[in-house]
A and B are shown apart, each in its own frame.
Chain A
């Protein structure tokens, strides 16, 4: 599936819920079921600045594909990171760099994220794209 196909799928999954409480409960479930990051990556080196809650994000690069693992001390944030990973993990650097992330808007979470919170979200996306950029220069060499 392409990045956009996965985004559409996620959007559909959230569309089932009318009530915001159910949406958040679903997000909490997603956060809970995300595999934990390897403890050795839960360090300041992998901490993303700009979030009210702590987020650790670790990339690995193999055969031209970037995979991410992540964690957060807040469950809702964990859910959001899990969704980002679902959409963006296992992709080439180019795919990630060119991705237009519209699903957050469509699942109705963006308007509920206050500026500091969405800064946290933006910080995560920015970090993911930065890793992609770094790995893309590696491929070119």
Chain B
């Protein structure tokens, strides 16, 4: 039996609160999602009852928490359908996952004159680590453009692939435009030339089914907090052959097999990439979040969000002067727009006073704004716990904003 929207909302304590005396309408899910009670209590109970460092002690608590931590890894493996647990590395988040690959892969495989290919719709986390790598190695960053609708130019992508291309890094879904990129096609093209592909799943993991084997990507990264889990944990999925070949990123506890001052040997996967005390409470909380999402149903979630996105798109499009950025057919539930000539900051400020939480600005994706020649947008990012009424409230709020500034 599917849960009703009331039952779903009751799972998220924060959603029932009021802001400025008005019911909270939380439409900033692309920045971070709210947490269901099961996640909150799992993390709290861990601290209350079973806290100890993982993989360190012989004692009962440490054993217990290590078991939960490894079970969490297995939950993630199943969730993204990785073939092996060893391919699932816990990190601090999407950004840290990408930096790990940019450093470790880059150290081993990227040299002067080599090329890294990203797209023009990446957020800064999937641009800057590659720029830093290119600077370090005197390599070249190439950019796949996108069209007005927000679709990647696949012909240009094919042209940009060269014998010097070492890696392709591309978002599964754009955090501004919502576009779901054709990852399977992208990996197929890159693999023909033997080039690995990193997929940034920060904005896709929470919206439906992600199967890394089906996508055939070499790396897949995401953050726990964007899929109803705690902040400070993320995942780096990497194909075993790449992770095996790559040197570690950071040195420290747990990532070593044997340490002497003459020589240190590294631990096996995935521990090689998990230096120091990991954020095990958040990793365990993330597993609970994934279980929760599975219990609701990933297709159910995708269906609800699609429906809400359609309402929001229709209602906002009906307002004269509203410009929507990102009009691809295949979108996650993110809608970026500008209300006429009203500055996005003015709009966001007034919407906030109405209890509507949206994000304004460049959304850590300045090149996307430059592509359209705009200073920023208002972004409403929708989760399955949002309601139809909230979509109408957003549109009516935007109308009111435009009247105020008319």
Could you list which residues of chain A lie within 8 angstroms of chain B, going by C-beta atoms? Answer: 20-21, 24-25, 28, 52-54, 73-77, 112, 114, 117
Give CA–CA (A117, B361) in the complex, Å. Answer: 12
Which of chain A's residues have a CB closer than 8 A to the CB of B361? 52
* Chain A interface, >50% SS class: helix
Q: Which of A73, A74, A112 is packed against the most chain B CB atoms within 10 Å? A: A74
Q: Pick from B20, B352, B360, B405: contact of A75, CB below 8 A.
A: B405
CB–CB A76/B349 < 8 A: yes
Q: Pick from B343, B376, B404: contact of A24, CB below 8 A.
A: B404
Q: Nearest A residue to B375 by beta-carbon distance? A: A73
Give CA–CA (A77, B405) in the complex, Å. Answer: 13
CB–CB A53/B345 < 8 A: yes
CB–CB A76/B345 < 8 A: yes
B71 on the A face (CB < 8 A) = no
CB–CB A52/B350 < 8 A: no
CB–CB A74/B353 < 8 A: no
Can you name 29 A-B pairs with beta carbons within 8 Å? A20-B20, A21-B353, A24-B353, A24-B404, A25-B404, A28-B404, A28-B405, A52-B345, A52-B360, A52-B361, A52-B376, A53-B343, A53-B346, A54-B375, A73-B375, A74-B343, A75-B343, A75-B346, A75-B405, A76-B345, A76-B346, A76-B349, A77-B345, A77-B346, A112-B349, A112-B352, A112-B353, A114-B352, A117-B349
CB-CB nearest 3 A-B residue pairs: A74-B343, A74-B345, A53-B345
Which of chain B's residues have a CB closer than 8 A to the CB of A21? 353, 404
CB–CB B360/A24 < 8 A: no
Q: Which of B346, B376, B404, B405 is packed against the most chain A CB atoms within 10 Å? A: B346
Q: Pick from A20, A74, A112: contact of B346, CB below 8 A.
A: A74
Known contacts A74-B345, A76-B345; 19 further A-B pairs (Cβ under 8 A): A20-B20, A21-B353, A24-B349, A24-B350, A28-B404, A28-B405, A53-B343, A53-B346, A54-B375, A73-B375, A74-B343, A75-B343, A75-B346, A75-B405, A77-B346, A112-B352, A112-B353, A114-B352, A117-B349
Which of chain A's residues have a CB closer than 8 A to the CB of B352? 112, 114
Which of chain B's residues have a CB closer than 8 A to the CB of A74? 343, 345-346
Q: Nearest B residue to A120 by beta-carbon distance? A: B345
Give CA–CA (A52, B360) in the complex, Å. Answer: 9
Which of chain B's residues have a CB closer than 8 A to the CB of A24? 349-350, 353, 404
Q: Nearest B residue to A51 by beta-carbon distance? A: B345
Give CA–CA (A52, B404) in the complex, Å. Answer: 20
Shortest Cβ distance from B349 into chain A, in angstroms? 5
Give CA–CA (A38, B119) in the complex, Å. Answer: 39
Which of chain A's residues have a CB closer than 8 A to the CB of B20? 20
Q: Nearest B residue to A25 by beta-carbon distance? A: B404
Give CA–CA (A25, B375) in the complex, Å. Answer: 23
Give CA–CA (A21, B376) in the complex, Å. Answer: 24
Give CA–CA (A53, B347) in the complex, Å. Answer: 12
Which of chain B's residues have a CB closer than 8 A to the CB of A75? 343, 346, 405
Which of chain A's residues have a CB closer than 8 A to the CB of B346? 53, 74-77
Shortest Cβ distance from B406 into chain A, in angstroms? 10
Q: Nearest A residue to B405 by beta-carbon distance? A: A75
Q: Which of A25, A52, A112, A114 is packed against the most chain B CB atoms within 10 Å? A: A52
Which of chain B's residues have a CB closer than 8 A to the CB of A54? 375
Which of chain A's residues have a CB closer than 8 A to the CB of B376? 52
Which of chain B's residues have a CB closer than 8 A to the CB of A73? 343, 375
Q: Mark B349-361, 1 if CB is under 8 A from A, else 0.
A: 1101100000011
Give CA–CA (A24, B404) in the complex, Å. Answer: 9
Give CA–CA (A21, B20) in the complex, Å. Answer: 12
